[in-house]
Structure 1
Amino acid sequence: MTQEISLANAQALPSQQVSLDDIEPVTHSGRASLSRAPSLARFGRYDLLGRIAFGGMAEIFLAREVSETGRAGRHVVLKRVLPHVAEDEHFVEMFVDEARLAMHLNHPNICHVYAFGEESGSFYIAMEWVDGMPLSKLVRRARERGGVPIPIALRIVAMVAEALDYAHRASDSQGEPLGIVHRDVSPQNVMVSYDGPVKLLDFGIAKAASHSTRTEAGVVKGKFAYMSPQQCLGEPIDARADVFALGLCLYEILTGRNPFKRQTEFDTMRAIVYEDAPPLADAITSREPRIEIQRELEALIARAIAKKPEERFQSAGEMQMAIEQVLARSGTVVLAAKVGELMHDLFANEIKAGPQLDRRLSMPPPRATVPSGENEAMSSLPPGPNATQRIEVATPHDDERPSSIVPPRRRMLGALMIAAGLALFAVTGGVGAWVAYTMGAQGAHSEVVIPSVGAGPSAPAAPTTGAIYVDSTPSGAHIELEDRGDVGTTPMEIGLLSPGRYLVRLRADGHDDWERAIDLRAGDRAQLVAVLSANAPDLEEEEEEAAEPEPVARAVRPSRREREPAAPPGRVSINSRPWSKVYVGGRLLGTTPIGDVEVQSGSVRLRFVDRDGEEHVRSITVPPGGHAREFFDLRAQAE
């Protein structure tokens, strides 16, 4: 008899638990083929069977590939990019590399991208149809039955680790390592097929080290609850960030909850950076009699989610090996087929009914809401009257490599990159996407408004000049602009400046001079805020002046600033709630979260300007040559 290893969630759960011995083998005789589903419309070489979801960037269809002879082929998920997205040059530049990256990856545990192109003026991407459920839904459904059995949880995570290890080690056509980091490993981006194989989705926000389009400084990408501490702080990351996220996934499968998930994104990231996860033994109830297995799991997860990257598994492959060793010592052999048996046990009704499809081809209302955080970025369409139908499905067994594509024109590539940036979708009503947005104080939904073609007034003429706003503490400092001399005193806005580089200098009696160079572009309104340092006299000078009542001639002594070497600078990583622009003096550090930026050491005055234009002043102490990290809750009482 196989040793039973099962699991109950830490929270109150029914006494009945799923165990390996309770799961019956599966037969496929009752599952009909999608090949009999009627086509709604032809789109290039694809028959559209129904729409799955609609979002701000694309609409998602279940489709059937049709050969040149008219013969029905494999089923695919077809993402058709909305026209307005292709006009966004920023997205075009950002996603060119992601398209190439998606075509590089070919692994049994990674969802395949088959093709992309343009058809009748619409851009599309075709990818593998995964007949199953996201891991997140598996975890929730299993909770009703006592949780996912430990060996099955380990097998699922081992398959994801294998996929990540492949992606991390992937090379280009010249054999050069791509240096890929997924950045968004989460239960929502892991598909568990009804037959058992596991597929990692959504390489849309992944980045390769060799990419020409770099991630912007201080931009956080991914689901907040699964970010590594380094991601939360906007610091550079490597493959070990994916190891951290995968460790959190394993913790969640075993306990039913993410150890760092809080009410808001800000509190979640603070917990990730500063707090420890509750011990696994406190969150898991298991009938596994060998306590050493639980201890091994505890040690495995603790290593995967270590705060410091050097203390984690150094590769996903190393983590996979550790999982296999725990499975081997448990005396239980679990293959993908056993995972499929659990899926059939938990989702029998869904398998019988098939996917829910919207059989209308008319466009939904032109306003779509994109949820923030870990919620799904494309919402399933609500069924209308006589609009939805269930279609029984059969899982395709297709591991073909992505087809070769003739490079399309630049505009089409940009749009398809955006499609690739959406999650690799499986028809469950959920899709993940790379979404760039500004978070509100409460982490509210960010709305994507789809503009009507030809609507609205014509664009105003582009500005040709800029302005610089200068303020100081204390105020009243004289402002000198290079080549213009003294132009006034602080606070003051200097307008109608031609684009170019300007050197701004402030002078005030009893204070050291302050200066900053700034590059001004047309339409910019730059802000410089300086805290002037008082130039107090030396004690020795005061004593000498007191002892010499009569003025005498003496050599001019250098100031303290000239005599004492400046302390070496330090670095800061800053996050805030709400998200804000951060200034040190007149220098804009960036928009929070900001990672690994050089500033002067000592007590540094930070000025935050939030999305409503409100200013907040905070201070941070930066050690010389060191690195200071801090979260600031700007809603708390100001300094």
Structure 2
Amino acid sequence: MRIVGRYAVYDEIGRGGMAAVHLGRLLGHVGFSRTVAIKMLRPQYAKDPSFVSMFLDEARVAARIAHPNVVHTLDVEATQGELFVVMEYVHGESLSRLMRNARNEKTPIPPPIAASLLSGVLLGLHAAHEAKSVGGEPLDLVHRDVSPDNILVGVDGLAKVADFGVAKARGRLQTTRTGELKGKVAYMAPEQIEGRAVRATDMFAVAIVLWEMLAGRRFFQGTDELTRMRNLLSGSIESPRVHAPGMPEALEAVVMRGLERDPNRRFATALEMATALERAVTPASAIDVAQWLETAAAAALERRSVLLARMEESSHDAFSQPVLSDPEPNESVEEESGDPTRPVPGLAADSQFANRESRIPNVSARPSPRRGRLGILLLVAAIVAVLWAARKKEDAPTAPIASIASVAPAPIEAPSAAPADADVPVESAVPSAAPPHTKGRGRTTRPAAKPEKHDCSPPYTIGSDGLRHYKPECW
């Protein structure tokens, strides 16, 4: 396992001429991750501009196709000297391995299963043929490499078309050189060998795949490509009923029409061929296909499930902790997030993921949640203090009742029913019945003056702090 950019690259699960497909995990922020398939360009081709352009063309073209029966392209990465395309991971098995297992076990694939799988393939190809550019112009896309290797059957019962690496499309930077063939000879149409490729070329390849699924054997016999090409151009094309006598005649007609050497005599569109196929034999449901797959590829699916479980567990343990962490009191947030090569928090030094040459960039730092809460609390406390001081100044409290009761000469504030300037004897003032002052009024009622030789009217002064200070001589 190694980390490249924001992806963890695991075991290889497929290999092509110029690239290899690996299992991978998208390592997002705050513990988010996702299982993906990573198609990596081989190092010897990554330095060749023509191969790089072809590789990027594939990603750009495939990204224009959105259909459940086409493997989705999710991302393109060019980092640390690596160039790879990130695709959705299809948990299942390739049709080539399923067909090979069926031939080895001499158990032909049931026609309803074959019809369901290839009907989905045709619908995906129709979406590719109808794809448009960003400006809305038709891409005139032709896959040119439809084969069992590039058809994936998922545990959900759906078949998906993959690998548009050699697809012909308008606007592609890389075009086929003169005399150069694109695709596999065993599934090529006659016009493709002659250097032409049209929509019907893909239907010819689908018809070969359908023939092999029903007959339980290879369509072109021969040990070398030259022999296969001769058979394709001039050899006789026999009916699949020769090897599968119980096949419905309507299904045989669909196969033989798809194998017409003249493209104009084949189906006009992939959608038309899919419709004819479903009318010839009732396709199996997705549930039936999923159950058939679990039986036909039980061992492979079990091995893949164990691998996925280990992969997801290891990536979860190392990268599930949030990237955002509280800085130390003497550490600025800017310093924490400024280094894009800072190790991921929680990644042990001896972990299998601790690759010295690979780091995951951190997200933009944010203020610490604890600092934010502390700031809010301080602001609230300051507001409360200001309001309390203002209320204290406006409506200053009198001395405690016990203190007033213990000082006989001190005047008591008049009840609210008496005039503000009325003299009220001390005996008539009951602390529990009349408050020392009335809240909510615009002014404070002053106590009634008591004739004394000292100036005790009132017997206190109000200081700059807003509090009453009683005069010692009035005690």
TM-score (norm 2): 0.61
Counting helix residues as a fraction of each chain, which structure ranks higher? 2
Counterpart AA for 1:224: V
Counterpart residue number, 1:69: 30
Q: Does 1:279 align with 2:239?
A: yes
Q: Structure 1 residues 266, 107: CA separation in 2 closer, same or farther (over 3 Å shift)?
A: same
Counterpart residue number, 1:316: 270
Q: Does 1:307 align with 2:255?
A: no
Counterpart residue number, 1:182: 143
Unaligned runs of 5+ in 2: 314-475
Larger Rg: 2
Q: Deviations over 1:8-30 (max 9, x none)?
A: xxxxxxxxxxxxxxxxxxxxxxx
Preserved contact between residue 262 and residue 268 of structure 1 (Cα < 8 Å): yes
Counterpart AA for 1:344: E
Deviation of 1:54 (Å): 6.5
State the distance in 1 between where 2:201 and 2:176 align.
15
Preserved contact between residue 182 and residue 203 of structure 1 (Cα < 8 Å): yes
Deviation of 1:96 (Å): 4.5
Counterpart residue number, 1:259: 219
Q: Say what the alpha-carbon RMSD is for the aligned residues.
A: 2.5
Q: Does 1:341 align with 2:291?
A: yes
Q: Does 1:203 align with 2:164?
A: yes
Counterpart AA for 2:119: A
Q: Deviations over 1:597-618 (max 9, x none)?
A: xxxxxxxxxxxxxxxxxxxxxx
- What does residue range 216-231 of structure 1 map to in structure 2 within 5 Å? 216-231=177-192
Aligned pair partner of 2:87 in 100, 103, 127: 127
Q: Does 1:170 align with 2:131?
A: yes
Q: Structure 1 residues 53, 202: CA separation in 2 closer, same or farther (over 3 Å shift)?
A: closer
Aligned pair partner of 1:87 in 35, 40, 47: 47
The structure whose RCO (Cα within 8 Å, separation 6+) is larger is 1
Q: Deviations over 1:167-199 (max 9, x none)?
A: 011111221110000001111111111231111
How many residues were matched structurally?
Answer: 312
Counterpart AA for 2:262: K
Preserved contact between residue 195 and residue 343 of structure 1 (Cα < 8 Å): no
Counterpart residue number, 1:46: 7
Q: Structure 1 residues 198, 393: CA separation in 2 closer, same or farther (over 3 Å shift)?
A: farther
Preserved contact between residue 259 and residue 278 of structure 1 (Cα < 8 Å): no
Q: Deviations over 1:286-334 (max 9, x none)?
A: 3xxxxxx62111211111010101111111111011012113xxxx452
Aligned pair partner of 1:110 in 70, 78, 81: 70
Counterpart AA for 1:267: T
Q: What percentage of aligned pairs have identical amino acids?
A: 36
State the distance in 2 between where 1:51 and 1:349 align.
18
Counterpart residue number, 1:374: none
Counterpart AA for 1:85: Y
Q: Structure 1 residues 97, 62: CA separation in 2 closer, same or farther (over 3 Å shift)?
A: closer
Preserved contact between residue 93 and residue 301 of structure 2 (Cα < 8 Å): no
Aligned pair partner of 1:149 in 110, 120, 128: 110
Q: Structure 1 residues 137, 393: CA separation in 2 closer, same or farther (over 3 Å shift)?
A: farther
Question: Does 299-308 or 86-95 show the bigger shift?
Answer: 86-95
Q: Deviations over 1:552-607 (max 9, x none)?
A: xxxxxxxxxxxxxxxxxxxxxxxxxxxxxxxxxxxxxxxxxxxxxxxxxxxxxxxx
- What does residue range 254-403 of structure 1 map to in structure 2 within 5 Å? 254-286=214-246, 294-327=248-281, 332=282, 334-354=284-304
Deviation of 1:136 (Å): 1.6
Q: Structure 1 residues 69, 98: CA separation in 2 closer, same or farther (over 3 Å shift)?
A: same
Deviation of 1:237 (Å): 1.9
Preserved contact between residue 106 and residue 216 of structure 2 (Cα < 8 Å): no
Deviation of 1:78 (Å): 1.8
Q: Structure 1 residues 52, 192: CA separation in 2 closer, same or farther (over 3 Å shift)?
A: closer
State the distance in 2 between where 1:269 and 1:126 align.
34
Unaligned runs of 5+ in 1: 1-39, 287-292, 358-388, 395-639
Preserved contact between residue 197 and residue 337 of structure 1 (Cα < 8 Å): no
State the distance in 2 between where 1:123 and 1:212 align.
17
TM-score (norm 1): 0.46
Q: Structure 1 residues 56, 173: CA separation in 2 closer, same or farther (over 3 Å shift)?
A: closer
Q: Structure 1 residues 57, 297: CA separation in 2 closer, same or farther (over 3 Å shift)?
A: closer
Counting strand residues as a fraction of each chain, which structure ranks higher? 1
Q: Structure 1 residues 333, 52: CA separation in 2 closer, same or farther (over 3 Å shift)?
A: closer
Deviation of 1:56 (Å): 6.8
**Which runs of at least 4 in structure 1 moved beyond 6 Å after TM superposition?**
none
